Amino acid sequence: MNTFKKGISLIFSIILITGLLTGCNSGGKNANGDGGVTLKLLMDNSTNQDGIRAVADAIEKKYNIKTEISTRPGGTEGDNVVKTRLATGDMDDLVFYNSGSLLQALNPAQNFVDLTNEPYMKDITNTFKKTVTVNKKIYGIPGGSSRVGGWLYNKKVYKKLGLSVPKTWKELMANNKKIKAAGKTAVIGTYKDDWTSQLIYLADNYNVMQKDPEFPKKYTEHKATISNSPAALRSFEKLEEVYKKGYMNKDFLATTYDNGLKMLAEGKGAHYPMLSSALTVLNKNYPDKMKDIGIFPQPGDSKNSNGFTTWMPSAFYINKNGSNVEAAKKWVKFFVSSEGLKIFASKDKPEGPFVVKNAKVPKSSYPAVKEMLPYFDSGKTGLALEFISPVKGPSLPQITTEVGSGNKTAKAGAAAYDKDVEKQAKQLGLSGW
């Protein structure tokens, strides 16, 4: 009997101690984000993780907050993963996802923490904040540097042929004529990867906005279309002109993105209309050629309006319904601090200027990024259309391939894209469609 009582007493003691320990751990983990927290971060599988992991390591040392990264596919499949996990309550503590119009489809007010009144928001540029703002509330912080759409060019070819960086489309076409006459590819086409066919159209939005500042608003409200707006139609006309004048490599329909970058690095091609994210790939494959690679904005028709179309970085969002919100707040605050961005840039070279004030690109940055700085410093930049309007049709790569290969005229391509975006606008329930 005494032995039985002692046994029962021992069991209750173990249960009591275990409960106390569990209570202590639970409170330390979730109450203030200080003690042994592990944050889960979901991001796409195409983003370089080196800079993010370096910042995460620093956060672990500083706050004892670990970061566990899991990945999802990109594109539509990845979008569906994010939407499903939010809908089922199975989302990670932190979400790395697009800034811009795609954010609205995630119902941020219901799913993400409102960061509007966080003190560090004053240091983030208004341009970026607009892309993560829904109904006047800010939900994200930048997850890296900005990017631009422009024309990568080989400086050695330019020097050899005595060319200057063009300020107008006419000057660019004149350069192309000289390059072709010298026996080199003037404009590298890589339509085997059809997404690359979009760049001449997409990178022209700065010029569209200079001619018609209200176009994105009218476009979203269906008061203007690409085909009936001279400023927007001009973007398709530029794509058509490059093909008609025979400035691309003959095998452009069979050439891949990677092959295009090789042509540029080796000087076999002089120009490559592309996003500045290509600089990271170029540096990985041709580090000794980076000093030869420059970039300039896609020119408009006037020297007085010359600037870059910019893409904002994807953003980090905090899962509002997660169990580690306070720890996640510390995480994002550190990421956008001067210390955090310095650590990030040491492992992941910026592909454009940062969108946090006073966060300078390091001296070791790509020469092409340094060429962007005067445009950013003087305010000669404008957002890509996808960051201003939610209207973007899924068939754009196919349509720009058709226009860029002579299978459709600029006018027919613009009209086809107008039909393509109409379906999407109706699905989004936009007014006026």
Is there a domain that residue 11 lies in?
Answer: no
| Average pLDDT of the residues in 325-334 | 98
9 occurs within a structural domain: no
Query: What is the dihedral angle through the alpha carbons of 174, 176, 180, 185, rounded to the nearest 10 degrees?
Result: 180
Whole-number pLDDT of residue 423: 86
The answer on 218 and 89 residing in a single domain is no
Task: Determine phi and psi for 364, rounding to 5 degrees.
Answer: -85, 5
Considering 302, 333, 359, which residue would you say is the last residue of a domain? 359
Report if residue 52 sits inside a domain. yes
Query: What is the pairing mode between strands 37-44 and 65-72?
Result: parallel
- ∠ CA 368-314-144 to the nearest 5 degrees? 50
Query: Is there a single domain that holds both residue 158 and residue 282?
Result: yes
Q: Is position 15 within any domain? A: no
The band of 89, judged by pLDDT with boundaries at 50, 70 and 90, is very high
Q: What is the CATH number of the domain that holds 174?
A: 3.40.190.10
Q: Say what the pLDDT of residue 428 is.
A: 81
Which residues constitute the domain of residue 379?
Answer: 147-311+370-428
User: What mean pLDDT value characterizes the chain?
Assistant: 92
Over residues 238-278, the pLDDT tens digits come to 999 999 999 999 999 999 999 999 999 999 999 999 999 99
Please give the pLDDT value at position 200. 98
Going 227 to 230 to 232 to 236, the CA torsion angle's sign is: positive
| Residue 43, phi-psi category: left (phi > 0), alpha (psi -120 to 50), beta (remainder) | beta
Could you tell me if 303 and 263 lie in one domain? yes
Do 209 and 79 lie in a common domain?
A: no
Is residue 296 in a domain?
A: yes
Same domain (yes/no): 259, 319:
no
pLDDT recorded at residue 46? 86
Please tell me whether residues 399 and 354 are part of one structural domain: no
Residue 23 domain flag: no
User: Could you report the per-residue pLDDT of 94-143, keeping only the tens digit for each?
Assistant: 999 999 988 988 999 999 999 999 999 999 999 999 999 999 999 999 99
Q: Are residues 128 and 138 in the same domain?
A: yes
Query: Would you say residue 120 lies in a domain?
Result: yes
Does one domain contain both 378 and 346?
Answer: no
Paired tokens of 260 = 């295009």
Instruction: Choose the final residue of a domain: 301, 329, 359.
Output: 359
Domain boundary among 298, 329, 359: 359
Task: Band the pLDDT of 424: cuts 50, 70, 90.
Answer: confident
Q: Are residues 160 and 89 in the same domain?
A: no
Same domain, 386 and 285: yes
Confidence of residue 29 (pLDDT cuts 50, 70, 90): very low
Q: Examine the pLDDT at 316 and tell me if it is beyond 70.
A: yes
pTM for this model (two decimals)? 0.84
Residue 248's φ and ψ, nearest 5 degrees, are -90, 165
What integer pLDDT is reported at residue 390 of this predicted model? 87
Confidence of residue 22 (pLDDT cuts 50, 70, 90): very low
Overall domain count for the chain? 2
The number of residues in the chain equals: 433
- Helix 338-347, helix 325-335: angle, nearest 10: 70
Residue 317, H or E segment: strand 315-318
CB atoms within 10 A of CB 96: 24
- Residues 186 and 69 placed together within one structural domain of the fold: no
Averaged pLDDT for residues 64-74: 96
- DSSP characters over 106-159: G-HHHHB---TT-GGGGGB-HHHHHHTEETTEE-EEE-S--EEEEEEEEHHHHH
Strands (DSSP E) contained in 8-136 are 37-44, 65-72, 94-97, 133-134
Residue 26 lies in a domain: no
For residue 28, pLDDT beyond 50: no
Whether residues 42 and 131 fall in one domain: yes
